[in-house]
Amino acid sequence: MTRYTVLPIDAVALKDLRTVDDAGADGAPYLATDRDAGSPLRCCLRRITVGERVALVSYAPLRRWALATGASPGAYDEQGPVFIHADDCGGFTPSNRYPFDKPGALRTVRRYDARGRIVGGRLLLIPDDPTVGFDAAFNDAFSDPEVALVHVRALEYGCFHFEVRRPI
């Protein structure tokens, strides 16, 4: 069982992104191609299946968190491409597994403080037991009292996968 709460893109942000993305592009491009099957969806934290109607949008997760918390990430604010469903999908259903947990895949676990500044990170080679690997990476991150949240990203493309916040 996962120890940490995984956060997908929230419903309010998803509604916004389907109209204007975080790069200011109006009307996200809709895709439904076999080529994109298997790519990660950040709205429901599962993979795209063939024929689904999805949008590729620019998303700035740290910027949105900063707006909600009053943080000021400055130059650490970044945006990148993510796939979301083109229409409301009902969102993420928590499970006993971390999303996108394929053993052997490489992830970066990037740590941010309450100001939104990067305060470290690490590379995670997902082990045969992904829950143990992710739990260890998050335990390590949150052992630093300065760490407020963690972003998990794909190493290959640097794209955002999901967020974990300091447990309360």
Residue 157 pLDDT: 83
Distance of CA 59 to the CA centre of its chain: 10
Distance of CA 55 to the CA centre of its chain: 16
Q: Which of 92, 97, 95, 106 is nearest to 46 (CA)?
A: 92
96 part of a folded domain: no
Rounded to the nearest integer, the mean pLDDT of the chain is 92
Residue 28 pLDDT: 66
Residue 104 has pLDDT above 80, yes or no: yes
Number of compact structural domains in the chain: 2
Beta bridge partners of 47: 40
117 part of a folded domain: yes
Residue 2 has pLDDT above 70, yes or no: no
Average pLDDT over residues 104-128: 97
Which sign does the torsion angle of CA 18, 25, 67, 120 carry? positive
70, 112: one domain: no
Where is 133: in which H helix or E strand? helix 130-142
Q: What percent of the chain has pLDDT over 70?
A: 95
79, 14: one domain: yes
117, 147: one domain: yes
62 part of a folded domain: yes
Determine the structural domain holding residue 135 and report its residue range.
106-165
Residue 36 has pLDDT above 70, yes or no: yes
Sorted by sequence, the CB contacts under 8 Å of residue 94 that are 6+ apart come out as: 5, 6
Residue 152 has pLDDT above 70, yes or no: yes
Residue 8 has pLDDT above 70, yes or no: yes
Rounded to two decimals, the pTM is: 0.91
